[in-house]
């Protein structure tokens, strides 16, 4: 039998190898697409990777702005039965060895409900604390492991802890503020609605840890407040569908029972606390902040807003406030501090927040300390 010549066998082997490679690649693509359709996990892991990198970069950029006069207590446990129930506390060093208490800003981190932890807010929290406040960064269980409304229960438990243990932590539990960025802003708004609306608390089945008078105000950065008004088209729509699939535990996010209570804009009342609301002009969630601010104003809630013209340059993305190397980021910080100072006053309605008061405010105003 004549042997097969190398001239004919070589190309045949290459064609066979190429065919096998093509089939393997096609199967991998098919399996990948199938994985994205049957579970939120593949999308969540991609989003988490991107968000965690972005948060780390933003935190690193803040290091040059860090003050020297701030004390920290890290990884405080607010619920011994919950392994994720941790919080970090920051306060001016001037009160460290005293029994004085300060107005406290309780910050709920963002991350699309699927990423982040209390550490990512640490540097920004130190900067705000240096202006005369206790700042608390609260951890909660992220999705898919932490399903809605689990984070609300956790934050409510953290607030109960601060109400109970505040004096030992330099926290004035009679002057509390909630703050959040992105997903944390949505959670903060829900907590505030729980505190101020008995009907909403009953709907959620949660007994609020705070009395309405304890919650002096909210600072809401680039949040989402009404699912019905969110577009589910394009890349951003894929992002929303993925993270809420993970958070709700169901792909049909708009028809899921959770959507009814998640859309906090539909449940706020005139008793909602005064709010500072801001978002960048290139933030895909900007319409949510504009609409929520308008809704609160319609209800008669005091609202302080910081929005930018559509042609403002440089364009301000989602989470612009954490970039203190920009004029807009610094302005957001000053407006936040002014809002906190004004609403911490004995008669906050007599001293409305203004940009000027922030720049002039000393690091530890006597009026803030008790």
Could you read off the pLDDT of 23-61 as tens digits, one per residue? 666 554 444 445 556 799 999 999 999 999 999 999 999
pLDDT at 346: 85
pTM of the predicted structure, to 2 decimals? 0.88
Please report which confidence band the pLDDT of residue 361 belongs to, taking 50, 70 and 90 as the band edges: very low
Q: Which residues, 6 or more positions from 135, have their beta carbon under 8 angstroms from its beta carbon? A: 89, 90, 91, 104, 105, 107, 125, 126, 128, 129
Both tokens assigned to 45: 């892991």
C-alpha to C-alpha distance for 58 and 370, rounded to whole angstroms: 34
Please report which confidence band the pLDDT of residue 366 belongs to, taking 50, 70 and 90 as the band edges: low
Q: What is the mean pLDDT of residues 351-363?
A: 39
Q: What is the mean pLDDT of residues 183-190?
A: 98
Q: Is the peptide bond before 314 cis (omega within 30 degrees of 0)?
A: yes
Could you read off the pLDDT of 138-158 as tens digits, one per residue? 999 999 999 999 999 999 999
pLDDT at 82: 98
Both tokens assigned to 141: 């269980």
Nearest Cα residue to 146 out of 40, 259, 34: 40
Q: Is the peptide bond before 144 cis (omega within 30 degrees of 0)?
A: yes
C-alpha to C-alpha distance for 88 and 135, rounded to whole angstroms: 8
Q: Which residues, 6 or more positions from 220, have their beta carbon under 8 angstroms from its beta carbon? A: 179, 180, 185, 188, 189, 275, 276, 277, 278, 289, 292
The residue with greater pLDDT, 352 or 144, is 144
Domains, the chain, with CATH or none:
40-368 (3.40.50.1820)
pLDDT > 60? residue 365: no
Both tokens assigned to 269: 């009342």
């Amino acid at each position: 039998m004549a042997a097969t010549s190398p001239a004919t066998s070589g190309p045949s082997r290459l064609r066979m190898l190429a065919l096998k490679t093509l089939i393997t690649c096609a199967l991998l693509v098919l399996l990948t697409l199938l994985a994205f359709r049957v579970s939120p996990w593949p999308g969540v892991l991609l989003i988490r990777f991107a968000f965690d990198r972005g948060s780390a970069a933003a935190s690193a950029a803040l290091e040059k702005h860090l003050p020297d006069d701030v004390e920290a207590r890290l990884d405080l446990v607010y619920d011994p039965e919950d392994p994720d129930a941790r919080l970090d506390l920051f306060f001016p060093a001037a009160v460290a060895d005293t029994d004085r208490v300060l107005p406290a800003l309780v910050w709920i981190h963002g991350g699309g409900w699927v990423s982040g932890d209390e550490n990512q807010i640490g540097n920004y929290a130190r900067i705000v604390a240096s202006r005369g406040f206790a700042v608390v960064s609260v951890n909660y269980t992220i999705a898919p492991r932490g399903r809605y409304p689990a984070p609300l229960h956790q934050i409510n438990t953290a607030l109960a802890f601060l109400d109970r243990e505040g004096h030992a932590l330099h926290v004035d539990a009679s002057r509390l503020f909630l703050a959040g960025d992105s997903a944390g802003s949505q959670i903060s708004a829900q907590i505030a609605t729980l505190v101020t609306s008995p009907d909403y608390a009953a709907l959620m089945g949660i007994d609020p840890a705070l009395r309405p008078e304890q919650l002096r105000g909210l600072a809401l950065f680039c949040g989402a407040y009404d699912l019905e008004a969110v577009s589910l088209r394009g890349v951003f729509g894929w992002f929303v569908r993925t993270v809420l699939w993970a958070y709700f535990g169901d792909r049909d996010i708009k028809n899921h029972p959770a959507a009814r209570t998640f859309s906090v804009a539909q449940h706020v009342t005139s008793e909602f606390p005064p709010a500072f609301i801001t978002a960048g002009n290139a933030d895909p969630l900007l319409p949510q902040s504009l609409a929520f601010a308008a809704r609160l104003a319609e209800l008669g809630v005091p609202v302080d807003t910081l929005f930018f013209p559509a042609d403002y340059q440089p364009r301000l993305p989602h989470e612009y406030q954490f970039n203190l190397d920009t004029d807009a980021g610094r302005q957001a910080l000053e407006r936040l501090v002014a809002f906190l100072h004004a609403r911490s006053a004995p008669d906050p309605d007599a001293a409305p927040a203004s940009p000027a008061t922030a720049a002039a405010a000393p690091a530890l105003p006597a009026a803030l300390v008790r």
